[in-house]
C-alpha cells in the first residue's frame, strides 16, 4: 500500500478525490441537485399537491405549509407534516455542505495523517452514496406528482388554481390577521381541501385547489367529476 492510501478507494473515486481542481469539487454537490432536477424549495412547492390530489387533505400540511429557503429550517416542518421525501431532499441540502468540507481534506497532502485522509475519504464516499440513492427516490417520487398545467412556482400560477373558488371566499378578510391567527381561523373552519379538475359554467375544464364538497367522496374527486359547485 502506498503512502497516499489511494489503493483503499475505488479507482474512479480516487481519481476524483485526488484531483487538484477544488472548484469542481465545490460544484459537484450542486450538480447532483441539477441531475435530480429538484432542490429543497422545489420539493416544498410540489409536496402539498401530492396530498391534495389524494383528496380530503387537512389544511395544515397542504395549503398552510410554509416554504423555507434554507434546508435547516425546512427539514423539521416537512418531517412534522409527513412530507418525508421533501424532508430528505432538505437533509441532502445539509449534508451537501458537509461534503464540501469533507472534500477540502482531499487529496492527500504532505504532513497529513493517514487516518485523517481515510476519514475524509470515507465520509465523502458515504455522503455521495446517500445523495445518489436520493436521486433514485426523487425519481419515483416525481412520478407521483399530479398533472399540473402550470408549475406553482409563482403567485400568478397559484392564483390560476384558486381564483373564484369556495376556498377564497371562505378566506375573505383573513388577510388582516396575523399569520398564527389566520392559520388557526382556517383550521377552525374544519374543512378539507383537494386538487382536481372541474368543468366551469362556460364549459372550460379547469384544475383547482378547493374545499371538498361534503356530498362528494374522494373517489368522485379523483374520477374527475365535473359537477362541483
* Shared domain check, 192 and 88: no
Which residue is it, cell 392559520? Answer: 183
The last residue of one of the domains, among 115, 142, 169, is 142
From residue 51, give the alpha-carbon distance in Å to each of 95, 107, 145, 176, 215: 27, 45, 9, 28, 20
Same structural domain for residues 80 and 162? no
Same domain, 84 and 175: no
Same-domain check for residues 200 and 119 = no
Same-domain check for residues 182 and 211: yes
* Residues 36 and 102 both lie in one domain: yes
What gap in Å lies between CA 220 and CA 49, rounded to an integer?
18
Same domain, 131 and 73: yes
| Domain stop point among 142, 172, 196 | 142
Query: Domains in the chain: how many in total?
Result: 2
Residue 61 lies in a domain: no
**Cell output for 48:** 402539498
pTM, rounded to two decimals:
0.69
144: left (phi over 0), alpha (psi -120 to 50) or beta: alpha
Instruction: Mark whether 79 and 124 lie in a shared domain.
Output: yes
* Domain extent at residue 111: 6-40+67-142
Q: Quick check: is 227 in a domain?
A: no
Residue 1 lies in a domain: no
Q: Which pLDDT score, from 0 to 100, does residue 39 have?
A: 57
Residue 95 exposure: Cα atoms within 13 Å on the Cβ side: 17
Residues 166 and 124 in one domain: no
pLDDT tens per residue, the chain (229 residues)?
A: 444 444 344 444 444 444 445 444 445 555 454 444 455 567 888 889 999 998 888 898 898 888 888 888 888 988 999 899 889 888 888 888 888 888 777 776 777 777 877 888 888 889 889 988 988 888 888 888 888 888 888 889 889 899 888 888 888 888 888 989 999 999 999 899 999 888 877 778 889 999 988 655 554 455 544 343 3
Amino acid at each position: 500500500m502506498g503512502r497516499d492510501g489511494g489503493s483503499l478507494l475505488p479507482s474512479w473515486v480516487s481519481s476524483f478525490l485526488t484531483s487538484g481542481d477544488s472548484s469542481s469539487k465545490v460544484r459537484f454537490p450542486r450538480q447532483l441537485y441539477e441531475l435530480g432536477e429538484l432542490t429543497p424549495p422545489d420539493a416544498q412547492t410540489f409536496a402539498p399537491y401530492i396530498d391534495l390530489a389524494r383528496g380530503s387533505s387537512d389544511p395544515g400540511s397542504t395549503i398552510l405549509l410554509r416554504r423555507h429557503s434554507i434546508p435547516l429550517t425546512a427539514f423539521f416542518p416537512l418531517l412534522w407534516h409527513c412530507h418525508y421525501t421533501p424532508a430528505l431532499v432538505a437533509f441532502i441540502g445539509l449534508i451537501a455542505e458537509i461534503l464540501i468540507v469533507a472534500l477540502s481534506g482531499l487529496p492527500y497532502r504532505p504532513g497529513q495523517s493517514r487516518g485523517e485522509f481515510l476519514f475524509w475519504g470515507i465520509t465523502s464516499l458515504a455522503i455521495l452514496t446517500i445523495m445518489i440513492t436520493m436521486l433514485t427516490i426523487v425519481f419515483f417520487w416525481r412520478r407521483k406528482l399530479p398533472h399540473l398545467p402550470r408549475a406553482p412556482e409563482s403567485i400568478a400560477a397559484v392564483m390560476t388554481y384558486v381564483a373564484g373558488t369556495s376556498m377564497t371566499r371562505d378566506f375573505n378578510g383573513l388577510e388582516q390577521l396575523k399569520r398564527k391567527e389566520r392559520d388557526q381561523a382556517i383550521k377552525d373552519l374544519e374543512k378539507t381541501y383537494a386538487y382536481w379538475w372541474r368543468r366551469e359554467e362556460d364549459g372550460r375544464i379547469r384544475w383547482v385547489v378547493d374545499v371538498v364538497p361534503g356530498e362528494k367522496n374522494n373517489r368522485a374527486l379523483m374520477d374527475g367529476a365535473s359537477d362541483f359547485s
